[in-house]
Amino acid sequence: MKDLEFKYPLNVIYIIIPIACLIILILSIRKKEKIMNALKIDIKVRFKLASLILAVLGVTLMFFSLLGPQIFKGFVEINREGLDIYFLIDTSKSMLVKDIEPDRISRAKKIIERIIDNLNGDRVGFIPFSSDAYIQMPLTDDYQVAQMFLDVIDTDMIGGGGTNIGAGLNLAANSFDRTSSADRVIIILSDGEEHESNSIEVLRKINDRNLKVFSIGIGTLNGGLIPVYDSEGKQIIEYKKDDNGNFITSKLQRDTLERLAAEGNGAYYQSTVAGDEINALLKDISSLKKNTLKTQRISKYNELYQYFLGLGILLFLASYLLPERVQRGKGNE
């Protein structure tokens, strides 16, 4: 039994239970003897000692089972598989348009949050882009940390105007481990308006057969005006205008996003209030080839508590079932 260990050693504090049971048993026996003496009944009860021993042993074994006795059997290595996923988040000013509630950038962040909530072991990273792109959060499987990084993403992260989806694609593709045979996933969340590059050509030049590009259209075909906020970012003070003084209407350009998804062997989804696009995307990526992300070495044990618990209960019950042989004294005949 040299490999015997205890899963819950702190349960030793429950030693008070068998001690309390012992005290109750002793007091019960003494009370019974006092009653017999008061009634002047001279009897000798046999098996009393055996009954007490069984009860004490039973309670002790039940207490011992609370410690979680177990025998160490060795180590087992478990491979954890998952996908590497980069979210490309459009942070251009057009993502402030309120043609969907509450606005495009907030909807995009909510979609990402819900996707991550349904992942298990996959690594995620964030690449905001507008006129340029940068890795705001490298790939990680710590979803709480990911939520913290997601919360601070806004349209003021990258200076300059315009939208450069190609910069985000290049950055994500070069950040993946391309030596792996597993699929690599890029999820673009954007209104599809592109001013800085031809993202389709960029994607073709990447030439990675294991790269899967999915896109989610954020916005509506009717579009809306681009708000300009005050210095505190709380109140709309005007709407963006072109060089001729006309209000600029930003509309969803789904053609660009659909072509990117087709070129990247992925799929295009339209953002909806119900979030149907989330379930569809999760279903599609679930069939992709995963990578072995981490090998964990865990200890393997054989649990023994049930044997001690069962035997303890049997002995405790036996202490009450043991027959008492009563022999009356001659003075009471």
Residues 275 and 312 occupy one common structural domain: no
> Does the residue 25 lie in any domain?
yes
Is residue 147 within 8 A of residue 117, CB to CB? The reply is no
Q: Is residue 299 part of a domain?
A: no
Q: Which domain holds residue 30?
A: 4-68+304-332
- For residues 308 and 282, state if they share a domain: no
Residue 89 located in a structural domain: yes
Q: How far apart are CA 281 and CA 277, in angstroms?
A: 6
Whether the CB-CB separation of 90 and 219 falls below 8 Å is answered with: no
Number of domain units in the chain: 2
Q: Which of 214, 189, 184 is nearest to 283 (CA)?
A: 214
Q: Does 147 lie in the same domain as 105? A: yes
Name the residue with tokens 């599609």. Answer: 284
Same-domain pairing of 198 and 323: no
Say if residue 180 is in the same domain as residue 266. Answer: yes
- Same domain as 286, residue 186: yes
Asked if residues 78 and 308 have their Cβ atoms less than 8 Å apart, the reply is no
Where residue 86 sits, what CATH number does that domain have? 3.40.50.410
The verdict on 244 and 140 lying in the same domain is: yes
Over residues 116-160, the pLDDT tens digits come to 999 998 999 999 999 999 999 999 999 999 999 999 999 998 876
* Confidence (pLDDT) at 327: 52
In this structure, of 68-72, 157-161, 169-173, 228-232, the range with the lowest mean pLDDT score is 157-161
149 lies in some domain: yes
| Same-domain status, 201 and 151 | yes
Residue 133 is assigned to a structural domain of this protein: yes
**pLDDT class of 319 with cuts at 50, 70, 90:** confident
CA distances to 39, 126, 143, 315 from 294, in Å: 76, 21, 16, 47
Q: Diameter of the chain by CA atoms?
A: 125
Residues 113, 27, single domain; the answer is: no
- The amino acid at residue 249 is T
Per-residue pLDDT of 192-226, as tens digits, reads 998 766 899 999 999 899 999 999 999 999 999 99
- The count of residues in the chain is 333
**Residues 23, 154: one domain?**
no
Q: pTM here?
A: 0.69
219, two tokens:
């916005």
- Let me know if 286 is exposed, middle or buried by CB neighbors in 10 A (0-12, 13-18, 19+): exposed
